[in-house]
Structure 1
Amino acid sequence: MTRRLRAVMTLTLGLTLLALPAVAHAQPARCFDPNAPTTVEEQRLDDRLTPTGPEVGPELARLGGFDDDVSRFAARLCEPISRAQAFHHALAGGTELWRTAVRRAQSAQTWDSYDDRPLYWARLLATKALRQWQPSGWRLGAADRAKVVDAFDRASRGVSDLRFADGVRRVAVTGFDPFQLNGPSVRRSNPAGAAALRLDGRVLATPSGPVVVEAAVLPVLWGAFDQGIVERFYGGALAFRPDALVTVSQGRPGRFDVERWAARWRGGYPDNNEVAARGAVPDAAGWPQPAHEFIETTLPHQRLVDAGTTPFPVFFNRSFCEWPVGVPPGTGTPSCRSDEPTPGAAAASGSGGDYLSNESMYRANRLRLGLGATATAGGHLHTPVLGQPADPAALTDPVFEQDRRAIADQVAALVSVI
């Protein structure tokens, strides 16, 4: 379907992106309650960089070409729709959004195809619409609404869109949403998410033959991790007996790190909903959960370091922190070293820290070990930090775009080495 035809369809439905209460809080459509509660993430949709500038999230969704997709999705909610159709619509709409984002990321014909932010904000526009939706003729209870929102969210991340090909090596990869979005940082991007979109479904040429990659983008939310989103994706991937699992996130300035240790500990830093979590990593219901304080990478770390990928240097990071034996975890001062964890000591942080990046590595590899997939390698890559456009009122600039492109391309090069 051409963009022109899609625009005509949207106009016919009478529900443009800017008319949605979930977008600009203009004249509310009959099937949305603008007073219904939304998440902290969704409340950032009206953030601006300047008092007279556009709302950042909706503007990035528009620039990325997702305005028609969000409008069609919301317009369908205002048509007669049953409870069962609502779940199907959410699942289908999320899947369509993900596949559109992947096609966009891998096309040279779109506005800044490496930009991960349009998908992030389009997803929030849709989930906000679902939270404020008032079905005609029946009531959507809180539990059912949560299921519908979750179905859309997971599908729009690629979690339920695994399509591994036969006869080739397979690698499963995850990136992350943008984070630290308060204030002027609402325009942040995450190169790990950009890399995942660029990689999903691609077949990479490697010295060992072709490798097909399936990817997803994880939320920066403790609650979603508690509900098992990491296990859902990698559990589905492990059914195909992949050669490797690679979690990817944004890490330190100016360098890539292959992290040696994942730790069973959350340090308490707030997530994208301003929720903090501290303590041992919880189990995910329904999945095997072997007890490990630390899990060591099995990625070919020296090969990744020596591969000569550019432009950033690649290091093998051996650091970790532990609570001394006999000291209750979370009390006192942890011991930080780069040798081997002490038998019986509780983990305080992995090589990649104690935030959700460390936890993605821990959960993916705890599951890998729990399912006995010892022939599958697993580990984590931290990318260089991506800065922000130089002009505080700008959504993008050439240096910002070039840096994100360089990081995402180097992630692909490193995945090819595995």
Structure 2
Amino acid sequence: MTPQADDDRTTPHPAPSRPAPLTVEESRLSESLAAGGPSLADQVLRRSGFDDLAADLAGRLQVAPSLAELTAAVRQAGAELWTAAVDRAQGRSGQGDLDPYDDRPLYWARLVLSATLRRLDSPHLTVQHQRHGLLRILDRTSRGIERPSTGSGSVGWADARPGDLRVMVSGFDVFGLDQSVRHSNPSGAAALQLDGRRLQTAHGDALVRAVVLPVGYADFDQCVVEDAYGPVLRPGDDRADLIMTISMTSRGRMDVEKWAANARGGTPDNQRDQHFGSVARASHWPQPFDSPDWIETTLPYAAMVDAGTGPWPVVLKEGIREWPAGTFPDPTALVERPDPSPGSTAAAGTGGDYLSNESMYRSNRLRQALHAWDVPGGHLHISALEYPGDPTVLTDPAFEADRRAVVDQTVALVAAAAAARADRRG
């Protein structure tokens, strides 16, 4: 039964929807690196030139004269933010002194806009669902998932040429912000470096499309991974030739993950939410009849390992955690093995049991459901970063050089995978 106060059909002239409280992520906009200092978000935005961009975009949302124009303004703001972040990363534009490889301006500017929408006191918003719809549009457009050139929900290949190999990749937002609000994520930085980029192979160019995924269980349950990869896995002209999810692992290693697991281990996300158990099924995308406990990589990992990239070693990572057949959920039966045993229940893949693992699992579960058997897919874990020794310092030359090394090696590994796929295609 629906409470009358929440049913707009009972009110001939509905009152404006009240502003919503900020999320955990948005509340971090005010956090600083040093007591009494400027907020981290303000530092990042000012030093990247995104302070004026965020203020301009937020101002447009506040003066939209109708709900239709507010919706259009939100869609445009998200798209402009994504384009600005990619252009800045790839050197086509830029202000301030912050390293172009820094992924944090996109993250904090998006939060400024989402906080603006959440607190917007507008006569055009009469029910909470309208505000939630606007927030969804902002999120998807500012991540590169929905693009104006191809319509809502499609990644598209607007710049594709005949014969191009099509490669779809994803990185992640920053995370671990309760430990340090200054965190960067080299996988998100790599996505910004790769979006729209052409990688040369012996058989022509590989055109890359990239998105940046959120670090949130609720977003994953609302199919953000499937919404990103689904349009390039459907049969037809938009189908990719290779997909790869990318995230950050421990320091000094680059791992091609062998197995994704149908499992969540409960590590808190960016909203401090915790989820345990199996991965939820996608509500509006095709799914296998039974969700598999394990999905094995089909990336050309041998070519990636042998490509000679550096500075970090590249390996095919093995080793999973499972309950052997018939033993779930007995805690004493939990074991670690190189590979899954028949009929086992997944506890952790080679890449763990957090959203990195789940991004590989969801994208490749969908790949199976859409019968994209000819599209290699899998996950690349890349090295964590070393931060300045002073915790009140946002960045320094050594940190920036370290991130560039990690990101450049990531780009080289995507290029190696694309080249191997092109060789196979001929």
* TM-score, scaled relative to structure 1: 0.89
- Per the TM alignment, residue 328 of structure 1 is displaced from its structure 2 partner at its CA by 2.7
| SS of match in other structure, 2:204 | coil
**Deviations 1:2-58, CA, capped at 9 Å, x for gaps:** xxxxxxxxxxxxxxxxxxxxxxxxxxxxx998x840110000011011112110012
Kindly tell me: are residues 286 and 394 of structure 1, through their superposed partners in 2, closer, same or farther at Cα, counting changes over 3 Å? same
- Paired with 2:360 and 2:330, the residues of 1 have a C-alpha distance of 21
- Per the TM alignment, residue 65 of structure 1 is displaced from its structure 2 partner at its CA by 1.6
Structure 1 residue aligned with 2:104: 117
Aligned counterpart for 2:256 among listed residues 255, 258, 262: 258
Structure 2 residue aligned with 1:3: none
2:132 is equivalent to residue 146 of structure 1: yes
- The question of whether the paired residues in 1 share the 8 Å contact of 2:64 and 2:73 is answered with no
- Per the TM alignment, residue 84 of structure 1 is displaced from its structure 2 partner at its CA by 2.1
Structure 2 residue aligned with 1:181: 177
Moved more, 45-54 or 58-67: 58-67
**Deviations 1:292-350, CA, capped at 9 Å, x for gaps:** 11000000111111110011110110111111221234844521111x31221111111
- The question of whether the paired residues in 2 share the 8 Å contact of 1:323 and 1:334 is answered with yes
Structure 2 residue aligned with 1:198: 193
- Per the TM alignment, residue 108 of structure 1 is displaced from its structure 2 partner at its CA by 7.0
Aligned AA (1:336): E
Kindly tell me: are residues 279 and 163 of structure 1, through their superposed partners in 2, closer, same or farther at Cα, counting changes over 3 Å? same
Aligned counterpart for 1:208 among listed residues 190, 193, 203: 203
- Per the TM alignment, residue 72 of structure 1 is displaced from its structure 2 partner at its CA by 1.6
| Structure 1 segments of 4+ aligned residues over 3 angstroms from their partners | 108-111, 137-140, 329-333
- Paired with 1:214 and 1:173, the residues of 2 have a C-alpha distance of 6
Structure 2 residue aligned with 1:313: 313
Kindly tell me: are residues 223 and 49 of structure 1, through their superposed partners in 2, closer, same or farther at Cα, counting changes over 3 Å? same
Aligned AA (1:238): L
- The question of whether the paired residues in 2 share the 8 Å contact of 1:264 and 1:281 is answered with yes
Structure 1 residue aligned with 2:74: 90
Structure 2 residue aligned with 1:224: 219
- Per the TM alignment, residue 386 of structure 1 is displaced from its structure 2 partner at its CA by 1.0
- Paired with 2:409 and 2:212, the residues of 1 have a C-alpha distance of 18
| SS of match in other structure, 2:368 | helix
Q: Percent of aligned positions with the same letter in both sequences?
A: 48
Structure 2 residue aligned with 1:49: 33
| SS of match in other structure, 2:63 | coil
- Paired with 1:40 and 1:248, the residues of 2 have a C-alpha distance of 25
- Paired with 2:203 and 2:300, the residues of 1 have a C-alpha distance of 14
Aligned AA (1:117): R
Kindly tell me: are residues 329 and 366 of structure 1, through their superposed partners in 2, closer, same or farther at Cα, counting changes over 3 Å? farther
1:267-306 to structure 2, matched below 5 A, reads: 267-290=265-288, 291-306=291-306
- Paired with 1:59 and 1:266, the residues of 2 have a C-alpha distance of 34
Aligned AA (1:125): V
**Deviations 1:211-267, CA, capped at 9 Å, x for gaps:** 000000000000000000000010012242211110000012101000000000000
- The question of whether the paired residues in 2 share the 8 Å contact of 1:309 and 1:414 is answered with yes
- Paired with 1:217 and 1:280, the residues of 2 have a C-alpha distance of 23
Structure 1 residue aligned with 2:352: 353
**Deviations 1:67-92, CA, capped at 9 Å, x for gaps:** 12211222122324222222221111
| SS of match in other structure, 1:387 | coil
Moved more, 167-176 or 55-64: 55-64
| SS of match in other structure, 1:78 | helix
Aligned counterpart for 1:70 among listed residues 54, 59, 63: 54
- Paired with 2:388 and 2:360, the residues of 1 have a C-alpha distance of 30
2:117 is equivalent to residue 130 of structure 1: yes
Aligned AA (2:67): R
Kindly tell me: are residues 329 and 232 of structure 1, through their superposed partners in 2, closer, same or farther at Cα, counting changes over 3 Å? farther
Give the total of aligned pairs. 384
Structure 1 residue aligned with 2:396: 397
| SS of match in other structure, 1:205 | strand
- Paired with 2:161 and 2:330, the residues of 1 have a C-alpha distance of 46
Q: Which runs of 5+ in 2 are unaligned?
A: 1-15, 148-154, 418-426
Aligned AA (2:165): R
| SS of match in other structure, 2:54 | helix
- The question of whether the paired residues in 1 share the 8 Å contact of 2:87 and 2:93 is answered with no
**Deviations 1:275-302, CA, capped at 9 Å, x for gaps:** 0000100011111111211000000111
- Per the TM alignment, residue 208 of structure 1 is displaced from its structure 2 partner at its CA by 3.4
- The question of whether the paired residues in 2 share the 8 Å contact of 1:173 and 1:214 is answered with yes
Q: Which runs of 5+ in 1 are unaligned?
A: 1-30
Moved more, 158-167 or 112-121: 158-167
Kindly tell me: are residues 342 and 46 of structure 1, through their superposed partners in 2, closer, same or farther at Cα, counting changes over 3 Å? same
